[in-house]
Every structure is written in structure tokens, then in C-alpha cells.
Amino acid sequence: MLFLLLLALCMRTFVNTVSSPDEEISDEVSTLCHQEQGSSCSIEFRRFDIVSDVSDHHYIKSNESGKEMQSFANANGTVQCQIMKEWKILETDLPDSIYVRAYETRIDLLRAVIIGAPGTPYHDGLFFFDIVFPSDYPKHPPKVYYHAHGLRLNPNLYANGKVCLSLINTWSGAKPEKWTPTKSTILQLLVSIQGLVLNDKPYFNEPGTQVSQNKMTQNVIKKYMAYNETAFLLSCKTMLNHMNNQPKHFESLVAEHFQMRAEHILAALGAYRNGFCLVGHYSLGSSSPSKPLKVSPSFKDSLDKFSAALHLAFEKIGKTSPIVHGSEMAKNGSVSKTVVETEANTCSSSSANPQAFVGKPKSSKHKGVWKRFISALAWISK
């Protein structure tokens, strides 16, 4: 009777677990999956705050005329009232992956950082933008400067910091895509940059390539994949730039973010190097291709160099736990069986097929349930 009772309890646990697809099998898997979903929600850094020192802001010399300054100083004026509304929206509605700082002595200025989204070649990167409101805001859109460090990692983000976007009238677009004084907001602007600019297929942001998405020839696929590889390498270089020269007021965010994501970033480099995933498709708990993808020697070499450089940078910012990086995973052209199995099982299901741009990862978590069930039966039968 005791045996049957315990067996029934085990079966109930098994059924409940299987019928709840979002419930993770173990604390370890739960932690890993939490990390995969961006991890920014665990960072102890306020998404919106007001600071004082504005000395390193790109637009510090803007709005210096007496008339311009007065428009921001008038507490009853349209400009200041609208900016205060913007602050309130940012304070309450920012997503976990965007952080903003306003300035108490210069309400016309903002600084924002966007965390690159999973599933894109920009994943885990930090992308900083300086923003200035015009003195007739919101009649005209704000100006935006991207901290590019001389790198152009996206068709819309120039090496000189220019941001091309219809919403801020720096690129052509239909009227609904343009700035609308009564509707458009800074939050809309930041979310647009994250979703429309730092996306999974940045190659198609280039003028004249949009039609190619409906004609996915091998040549187009090759160009798309090559662009993603370049974008990812430049994103890695941007990570190094930000760790070596942390933007003011975001020092703790930079440190916390990369301490948290270091192992994931280096594991992704190793997976891309060994052909287990298309660039941007590194994720946890998914199947791998039966045959590794072809990776060019030049891309492998670049990944090895960035892996080593990032490893050192992560150690400097306080990531002290052991980290395995690409060059260690491929000594003498070979990779250990354990590392191969670990990395191969962390790539999204679409990674083996260049034409499957975005695919939902396949879950293998029920294997753990069966193991627990069988173990429970073995224990009961003792």
C-alpha cells in the first residue's frame, strides 16, 4: 500500500510538471533560463534616475543662447512641462533592457543605454545614446547621438555617431513613421532603436535591400550572414570600448551587466566559432545541427582574438569565476567532447538552417522529469 501511495504521488508530480511547460526542472536550469532571457531584470541599477554631472555629454554645448535656456527654465512653459511628462513616462514604463539618466541642471539632455536583444547579432551588447531636446520641443524631434567609437555596426548607426531614423526625421519615411508632436515620445524613440535598428537582420536595414527578404536567394542569404558576423564582431569591440571607458553615471551598470553575462558571451563566441549556431542564435536548452556549419578561417580567427580580449576585460571588472573562451575550446583545432556537447545543445533550433531566420527553441527539459521519475521509483522499490 505504501508503495502504491508513493507511486501515485510521483506520477502526480510528473504530470503536473509536464503539463506546465514554463516550469523549469531544476534550480540550475531555472537559473540558466533566467539568464538567457536578458538578465537585465537582476541588475541592481535604477532604470531611470536624475544625476548632476553632465560634463561628458555630447550635446553639452547645445541650447546655450539666452532664448533657448529660457524655454527650458520656464516652469509654466510648454517645453518644460512636456519634458517633465517624458521623465514620468521613462520612470514608469521603461523595459528592463533600457536605462536612462536625466540631468538636474540640464533638463534638455538625456543619456540612454540599450541592451542588445537575444536572437540578434547585438545580443548582450551595451549601446549608448546621448539625446538633446530642441528649445521648441515637442514641435520638433530630439537629436540623438550614438556612442559609436568610430565603428559602424548597423546601417542606421554611423561611425560618426549619426542615427538615421524616420522618427527623428533623419531618414525618409511615410508620415506615420515621422515625428508627431502630439503622440511621439522618447520612450517610443528608444524602443524603435532597439526593435527596428538593433534587430536580427540588420543587413535589410540598408536602403535597396528590403525587397530581398521576399527573394531569399543563396546570394542574399550569404550577404545577410556575412553582415551579421561583422555586426557581432563590432558589437564585441564595442563591449571592450565600454568596459575600458565606461560612460559617466553608468559605471556600475557596465560592471554588473558584464559580470552577469560574461560566461554567456564567451560561450556564444565558442559556439559561433565551432559552427554550432548562426551568429545571433545562441540560446539555452535547444537542439543543435547534426553537422556543424561552415565557418570561415578569418571569422574563427577574429572570434578567438575577441574571446581572449573579452576574457581579460571581464576579469578586470570583477568576473572572477573560471571562464572558458573560444581559444581554449579550440586548441590545435580540436574541441573537448564535453565542451562540444555543452555548446551544441545551447543553440536555437533555427541555427542550422540559414533560411529559418527566427525559430522558437525546442525544449528538452522533460528528459529531466523522466530521470527524476525513474529515480523515485528506484528509491521506492528499495
User: Of 218, 334, 322, 222, which Cα lies nearest the Cα of 273?
Assistant: 334
User: Of 173, 211, 220, which Cα lies nearest the Cα of 192?
Assistant: 173
For the chain, the average pLDDT equals 78
Q: Which is catalytic among the residues 33, 41, 81, 164? A: 164
Give the pLDDT of residue 209. 78
User: Of 127, 72, 126, 128, which Cα lies nearest the Cα of 103?
Assistant: 72
Proportion of the chain above pLDDT 90, given as a percent:
59
Beta bridge partners of 129: 112, 146
User: Of 201, 197, 200, 218, which Cα lies nearest the Cα of 210?
Assistant: 201
Decide: 327 and 308 in contact? Cβ < 8 Å.
Answer: yes
Q: How many CB atoms lie within 10 A of CB 236?
A: 24
pLDDT digits (tens, 9 = 90+) for 226-279: 999 999 999 999 999 999 999 999 999 999 999 999 999 999 999 999 999 899
Give the pLDDT of residue 217. 81
Where is pLDDT greater, at 39 or 53? 53
Write the single-letter amino acid at 115.
I
Segment 162-170 shows an average pLDDT of: 95
Backbone angles phi, psi at 113, to 5 degrees: -130, 135
Q: How far is CA 259 from CA 103, 133, 246, in A?
A: 27, 34, 14
Retrieve residue 39's grid coordinates.
538578465
Give the pLDDT of residue 346. 54
Cα separation, 131 vs 126, whole angstroms:
16
Whether the per-residue pLDDT at 36 is higher than 50: the answer is no
The DSSP 8-state label assigned to residue 103 in this structure reads E
User: Of 263, 289, 264, 267, which Cα lies nearest the Cα of 278?
Assistant: 289
CB contact burial 96-117 (16+ within 10 A = b; e otherwise): ebbbbbbbeebbbbbbbbbbbb
Cα separation, 352 vs 203, whole angstroms:
19
pLDDT digits (tens, 9 = 90+) for 119-132: 999 999 999 999 99
Backbone angles phi, psi at 210, to 5 degrees: -60, -40
Whether the per-residue pLDDT at 324 is higher than 80: the answer is no
pLDDT digits (tens, 9 = 90+) for 5-25: 333 434 333 334 333 333 332
Most confident segment among 33-42, 130-139, 218-227, 343-352: 130-139
Residue 220 banded pLDDT, cuts 50, 70, 90? confident
User: Of 315, 291, 311, which Cα lies nearest the Cα of 303?
Assistant: 311
User: Of 261, 128, 109, which Cα lies nearest the Cα of 190?
Assistant: 128
The distance between the two most distant Cα atoms of the chain, rounded to a whole number of Å, is 89
The torsion region of residue 289 among left (phi > 0), alpha (psi -120 to 50) and beta comes to: beta
For residue 92, the Cα-to-chain-centroid distance in whole angstroms is 21
Whether the per-residue pLDDT at 83 is higher than 90: the answer is yes
For residue 18, the Cα-to-chain-centroid distance in whole angstroms is 30
What interhelical angle do 366-380 and 2-18 show, nearest 10? 170
pTM metric for this prediction? 0.76
Give the pLDDT of residue 79. 96
Question: Grid coordinates 551587466 are at which residue?
Answer: 257
User: Of 165, 157, 96, 87, which Cα lies nearest the Cα of 127?
Assistant: 157
CA angle 330, 336, 338 (to 5 degrees): 130
Residue 341 banded pLDDT, cuts 50, 70, 90? very low
- Answer yes or no: 164 catalytic: yes
Backbone angles phi, psi at 100, to 5 degrees: -135, 145
